[in-house]
Structure 1
Amino acid sequence: MTVVSAAANPEAHGIMALVDHSRPWYKNRRIVILNCWIFLLLITSTGNGFDGSMMNGLQSLPQWEKAFDNPSGGKLGLLNAIQNIGSIATLPIIPYINDGVGRRLTVFIGALIMVAATVIQTASQSVGMFIGARFLIGFGLGIASNAAPMLVTEIAYPSQRGPLTSVYNALWPGGAVVAAWTTYGSFRIQSSWAWRLPSAMQALPSIIQVIFIMFGPESPRWLIGKGREQEALETLAYYHANGNKEDPLVVYQMEEIKTAIRLEREVNDNVGWTTLFRTPGNRRRFRVILAIAFFSQWSGNGLVSYYLNKVFDTIGITDSNTQLLINAFLNMWSLLWAVGGGLFCDRFGRRTLFLCSTAGMLLFFTLQTICSSLYAQHGKKAAGDAVILWIFLFGSAYAIAYSPLITSYTLEILPFNLRAKGFTLFSFAVSLSLIFNQYVNPIALKALGWKYYIFYCAWDAVELVFVYFFVIETKNRSLEETAILFDGEERARELAIAAATKVGMAEIGTGTPETSSKDEKFSLHQTEDVAHMS
C-alpha cells in the first residue's frame, strides 16, 4: 500500500497520511467487500425511516382509520410514540449487550426481534395488538440501531469513515421513500391489506440482516478491548491492507487503538455512567451531543415526519391521494439532500454543514409560518401553496446536516470506552424528544393551528446560536485523533508518539513531524487544534 506524503496532500495528517490514494476504492476488492458489509448495517436506518413515514401515510388511509376507530389527539400520539417508548426500554441494557457480546451479534438480536414484531403488527386485529407490536418494533430497533452505526464507524476504511457513518443516518429518508410509495400504492386496495402490506414490508431490511450479518466483520476496537488482538489485526489487515499485517496503516491503527484504550482505562478504571460527565472533556462532549440530539427532533421537522396530514389540513389540502403523493415526493427530496450531505461531509466539514442547515431551517420555517398565517386569516390559496414550497426547502435544509451527521458526529467525538454508553445517552435524548413531540404535536396543532409554529421559529434561532459557539470541526481525523480535540494536548502527544513509533515513523519530540523510512512526511495537527480550542 502506498503511503501518501503530507507534501503531496496538504490535507493529510495523522492516519490520513497513511491512507492508500494510489487507486480508487472501488478498484480495491477488499474495500468493496467491506463496504458491502457496511451497507448491510446502513439499512438499519432505513427501518427507522420506514416506520416514521409509514405511520404518516397510514393516517391518510381511510382503511387504517376505520380499522382503529379514527384515532386522534392523545390516542394518535400514543400510536406514534409507542415505538420510541420501546426504544427507550432498551437503553438500560443495550450498552452492556453492545460491549458484552459485540456489535455484530447485537445487530442480529435487534433484527430478529424486529422480524417477529412486524409479523405481529401485520396480523393485528385490534388497536391494542397494533400498539404492542409497535412497542416491540421500537425495542428491536433500539438494540440494532445502537450497535449498527457503531460498527460502521469502527470498521470503515479511514478515509471513508466520515461519509459512510454519515450516510447511515442519511438513509432514514430512504426507508421513508419506500414506505411513502408503498402506502401510496396500497391506498387503492379496498381491504385491510391497504395498511397490512406496508406493515409487512417493514420487516425486509431486518430479514436480510438476520440472514447475513453474522458472516461480516466484528469491530477491531471491540476485539482489542476484549484482548483478542490477533483477530483485530487480521480484520484490519484483510479489509484495509489486502491482508498485509505489516502495512504501516494497519500497524498505526493497531497501536493507536491499543494506546487509546489503555489511556482511557488508566483514567477511568471503572467506566460507569458518571464517567460521562466526570472530566471537562467529557462535559464538553455531552453538552454538544445532548444538544444536537434534541435539535434533531425539535426543529419543526417532527410535524412533517409524523403529522404531515395535519399540517396539510391547516392549509386546505384534505384529499388523501394528494397528501400521500406529496409525502412520497418530499421523502425522495430529503433523501437526495441527506445522502449528499453525508457524502460531502469531509469536503465541506461538519461545522459548516450544521451552520448552513440550522440557518436554513430557521429561514424556511419562518416563511412557512407566515404563509400558514396568511392562509388561516385570509384564505389566500397562493399562501397555502407556498407552504408546500417552504416545507420542501425546510426539508432540504434539515437533511444536509441533521439527517446524516447527528449519528456520525456523536460517535466520532466519543472515545472507545465511552462510545456504547455515550451513544445510549444520545439515543435516550432522541427518543425522549420524539416521545414529547409525538404526544404534544397533535394536541398543540389541534388547539393552536398555525400559531404553534411560532414556538419552533424561536427555538430554531436558539439552535443557531448554540451551533455557532459550540460545534467544532472534526473532519479528516481518525476516531482517536478526534477524541483528542476534547481531552487535551498531553493525551494527543502520547497517542502520536506510541502510534508513530510503532510504524517506524521517527521520534516525535516537539510535535514536529519527521520523515519516515521512505523519506515521506505526515503531520499530526491535533495538538494545534487542542491549543486552539482552549
Structure 2
Amino acid sequence: MRGLYICLMFAVLTSATNGYDGSMMNGLQALDQWVTSFHNPSAATRGLLNAIMSVGSIVALPITPYIADIAGRRAGIITGCLLMIVGVVLQSASLNIQMFIAARFLIGFGVAIAHGSAPLLIAELVHPQHRAIFTTIYNSTWYFGSIVAAWLTYGTFTISNAWSWRIPSIVQAAPSVIQLIAIWLVPESPRYLIAKGKNEQALQILGKCHARGDVNDELVQIEYREIRETLALEKEFEGNGWLELFKTPGNRHRLIILISLGFFSQWSGNSLVSYYMSDVLKGAGVENAKLRLEINGILNIVNFITALTMCFFIDKPGRRPLFLFATGGMCASFVVWTIFAAEFKKTAINALGYLEVTFIFLYYVFYNCAWSGLLVGYAVEILPYKLRAKGLTLMFLAVDLALFFNSYVNPVALAKLDWKYYIVYDCWLAVESIVVCFYYIETRNTPLEEIVKYFDGEQALLGGDLATEKARTLMFEEGIETGKTDVDRFESRVSTP
C-alpha cells in the first residue's frame, strides 16, 4: 500500500506545475534578461501573460469532465501532461512575446484537463482513512513547484543572457514528465471501473489498495457493495447532465460551496503575492531585485511547510472549523497589512515596510491552514460520483475566472491605486467569512459515498450497508442487484485452482 501511495503522489503532480508557473512568472519579471528579451512588457501585457494561462484552462473546461468520465481518470492525466509538455517546449523556445503568450495558453489548456482527473483519482483510490491527507497534499504540492521555481530563478539571476529565463521555463516540464512515467504504476479508479461495468477488476483494485490484496476483507466488501449499489441507483434515478447541479436543494447547496471555493481561493488577496510579489514588495520599500527573489523563495518554503503540516491534521478539528479559522485570520492580518502599507506610503519609515512584509507572511500562514489543501479535497468529497467530474470542473471554472480577473486587473489596479487597492480585499474577506459560516458543512471521518446524506438527508441515493430508506425502497422496487453477488462470484474465481 505504501509503494502504491508513493507512485500515486508522483502521478498527480499537476498542482506542482501550477505552483511552479506562478512563482516562475514572479521570478521572470524580476529578471532584467527576461524584460530585455521581450522589450520591457507594459503592465497590461504582463497581465495578459498571466491571464492567458487561465484563458487556456477555461477553454479546456467544457471537454475536461467528459475525458475523465468516458476515457478514465488516468487518461485525463496523460492527455493533460502531454499538452503541458508541448506548451513548455514552445514557451522555452519563444522568440517574441506573441509566441510566449500562445505557449502559456497551451499550458493552461493541459493543466485544466489534468486537474480535472488527478484529484478524482486520488479521492476514489486511496483508503477512506487516508482520503483527507492525500487529497489535501495534492493541492499543497502547488508550493513545492513554487519553491523550485522561486529558487531556480534566483539561481539563474546571475546568468547574463536569455538562458537566465529559458532554464526555469524548461524545468517547468519536469512534473509532467514525472507524471507520465508514474501514472503507469497506478491503477484506475475502482469507481470509474464499476461505472463501466468492470466490477471484478474494481474489486481486485479495492483489495490491493485497501487490504493488501485481500478481496475478502470486511472493509473491502462493504466498500464494494456501497459503491456498486450507489452507482446503480444514480444511474437508474439520477442524470449526470450539467442541469442536475441546479435541480435539488442538496445540489444547489453543493454548487454554492463549489463556486465560493473557486472564487474565494483566488480572490482573497493571495493572487497579489502569487503573481505580483515583485510589485507588492516594491510598494513595501524592497527595491533590491535580489532581495525580492530571496523573500519570494523564503515565503514559498514557509507556505509549503504550513500547508503540508496541516494536511495531517485535517480530520482533527474538521473542515468547517479550519475554514472559519483560516478565513477570519486572513481577514484580520490583511487589514493590518493594509494599515502598514498605507503608513509606509505616507512616512517611508523602513520599519513599517518590514512590518508589512511580516504580515504578508502571517496572512499566508492562515491561508494555508485551509484554503491551499482543502480547495480540491473538500470539493471532490462533497460531490456524488455522477456529478464529481462536472462539479469539480465548475469549481475550476470559478478558479480560472478569478485568476483571469486577478492576472489582468491586479497589475493595473496596483499601478493606479497602490495600497488603496488592498481595501477591496479587506471588505471581500469579510464577505467570505460570512459565506463560510452559513454554507460550509462538516464531512470529516465519513466515507466518500456516505457524504451525500449531509446534503440530501433521507432523500439521498446511498446503497450498501448504510443505505437510506429511500434507496432500499427503490432497490427493492426496481430489483437492483446488490454487490454481494459479484463479491461471491469473484471469490469463487480467485479460489479456483
TM range (shorter): over 0.9
Does structure 2 conserve the Cα–Cα contact (< 8 Å) formed by 1:56 and 1:306? yes
In the alignment, structure 1 segments of 5+ residues that lack a partner are 1-30, 500-534
Q: 1:456 aligns with which of 405, 415, 425?
A: 425
Is the aligned partner of 1:141 residue 2:111?
A: yes
Is the aligned partner of 1:33 residue 2:13?
A: no
1:114 maps to what in 2? 84
Measured after TM superposition, the shift of residue 490 of structure 1 is: 4.4
Residue by residue over 1:167-193, the C-alpha shift from the partner in whole angstroms, topping out at 9 and shown as x without a partner, is 111111111000000000010111101
Measured after TM superposition, the shift of residue 496 of structure 1 is: 3.6
Measured after TM superposition, the shift of residue 451 of structure 1 is: 0.3
2:311 maps to what in 1? 342
Distance 1:171 1:209 in 2: 13
Measured after TM superposition, the shift of residue 166 of structure 1 is: 0.8
Is the aligned partner of 1:231 residue 2:201?
A: yes
Distance 1:407 1:493 in 2: 23
Q: 1:206 aligns with which of 166, 176, 183?
A: 176
1:283 maps to what in 2? 252
2:480 maps to what in 1? none
1:81-92 equivalences under 5 Å are 81-92=51-62
- My pick for the range that moved more, 203-212 or 488-497, is 488-497
Distance 1:484 1:41 in 2: 31
Q: 1:491 aligns with which of 456, 460, 476?
A: 460
Does structure 2 conserve the Cα–Cα contact (< 8 Å) formed by 1:351 and 1:471? yes
Q: 2:126 aligns with which of 144, 153, 156?
A: 156
1:394 maps to what in 2? 363
For normalisation by structure 1, the TM-score amounts to 0.86
Does structure 2 conserve the Cα–Cα contact (< 8 Å) formed by 1:368 and 1:387? yes
Aligned-partner residue type, residue 68 of structure 1: F
Distance 2:323 2:245 in 1: 24
Size of the alignment, in residue pairs? 468
Residue by residue over 1:411-470, the C-alpha shift from the partner in whole angstroms, topping out at 9 and shown as x without a partner, is 000000000111111110100010001111011000000000001001101111111111
Cα distance 1:498–1:361, how it changes in 2: closer, same or farther (>3 A)? closer
Residue by residue over 1:381-435, the C-alpha shift from the partner in whole angstroms, topping out at 9 and shown as x without a partner, is 1111111100000111111111000100000000000001111111101000100
1:59 maps to what in 2? 29
Distance 2:258 2:221 in 1: 31
1:420 maps to what in 2? 389
Distance 2:263 2:460 in 1: 30
Is the aligned partner of 1:178 residue 2:116?
A: no
Measured after TM superposition, the shift of residue 498 of structure 1 is: 5.2
Measured after TM superposition, the shift of residue 315 of structure 1 is: 2.0
1:351 maps to what in 2? 320
1:137 is paired with a residue whose SS is: helix
2:102 maps to what in 1? 132
The percentage of counterpart residues that share the same residue type is 47
Distance 1:469 1:375 in 2: 37
Measured after TM superposition, the shift of residue 128 of structure 1 is: 0.8
Measured after TM superposition, the shift of residue 246 of structure 1 is: 1.4
Distance 1:391 1:38 in 2: 33
Measured after TM superposition, the shift of residue 328 of structure 1 is: 0.2
Cα distance 1:493–1:60, how it changes in 2: closer, same or farther (>3 A)? closer
Is the aligned partner of 1:385 residue 2:354?
A: yes
1:255-334 equivalences under 5 Å are 255-268=225-238, 270-334=239-303
Measured after TM superposition, the shift of residue 72 of structure 1 is: 2.6
Aligned-partner residue type, residue 149 of structure 1: P
1:372 maps to what in 2? 341
1:26 maps to what in 2? none
Measured after TM superposition, the shift of residue 69 of structure 1 is: 1.4
Distance 2:405 2:359 in 1: 24
Measured after TM superposition, the shift of residue 343 of structure 1 is: 1.8
1:361 maps to what in 2? 330
Distance 1:35 1:304 in 2: 32
In the alignment, structure 2 segments of 5+ residues that lack a partner are 469-497
Q: 1:481 aligns with which of 447, 450, 472?
A: 450
1:296 is paired with a residue whose SS is: helix
Is the aligned partner of 1:192 residue 2:162?
A: yes
Measured after TM superposition, the shift of residue 120 of structure 1 is: 1.1
Aligned-partner residue type, residue 70 of structure 2: G
Cα distance 1:493–1:273, how it changes in 2: closer, same or farther (>3 A)? closer
Aligned-partner residue type, residue 38 of structure 1: L
1:187 is paired with a residue whose SS is: helix
Does structure 1 conserve the Cα–Cα contact (< 8 Å) formed by 2:383 and 2:391? yes
Aligned-partner residue type, residue 33 of structure 1: G
Distance 2:282 2:336 in 1: 18
Measured after TM superposition, the shift of residue 492 of structure 1 is: 7.0
Measured after TM superposition, the shift of residue 493 of structure 1 is: 7.0
Does structure 2 conserve the Cα–Cα contact (< 8 Å) formed by 1:108 and 1:214? no
Residue by residue over 1:327-347, the C-alpha shift from the partner in whole angstroms, topping out at 9 and shown as x without a partner, is 000000001111112221011
Is the aligned partner of 1:403 residue 2:366?
A: no
Does structure 1 conserve the Cα–Cα contact (< 8 Å) formed by 2:230 and 2:461? no
Distance 1:39 1:376 in 2: 45
Aligned-partner residue type, residue 48 of structure 1: N
Does structure 2 conserve the Cα–Cα contact (< 8 Å) formed by 1:42 and 1:171? no
1:486-525 equivalences under 5 Å are 486-491=455-460, 494-497=463-466
| C-alpha RMSD of matched pairs (Å) | 1.3
Aligned-partner residue type, residue 135 of structure 2: T
Is the aligned partner of 1:69 residue 2:42?
A: no
Distance 1:262 1:232 in 2: 15
Is the aligned partner of 1:249 residue 2:219?
A: yes
Does structure 1 conserve the Cα–Cα contact (< 8 Å) formed by 2:68 and 2:389? yes
Aligned-partner residue type, residue 442 of structure 1: P
Q: 1:435 aligns with which of 376, 400, 404?
A: 404
Does structure 1 conserve the Cα–Cα contact (< 8 Å) formed by 2:225 and 2:463? no
1:99 maps to what in 2? 69
Aligned-partner residue type, residue 109 of structure 1: T
Measured after TM superposition, the shift of residue 491 of structure 1 is: 3.1
For normalisation by structure 2, the TM-score amounts to 0.92
Does structure 2 conserve the Cα–Cα contact (< 8 Å) formed by 1:170 and 1:339? yes
2:393 is paired with a residue whose SS is: helix
Aligned-partner residue type, residue 194 of structure 1: S
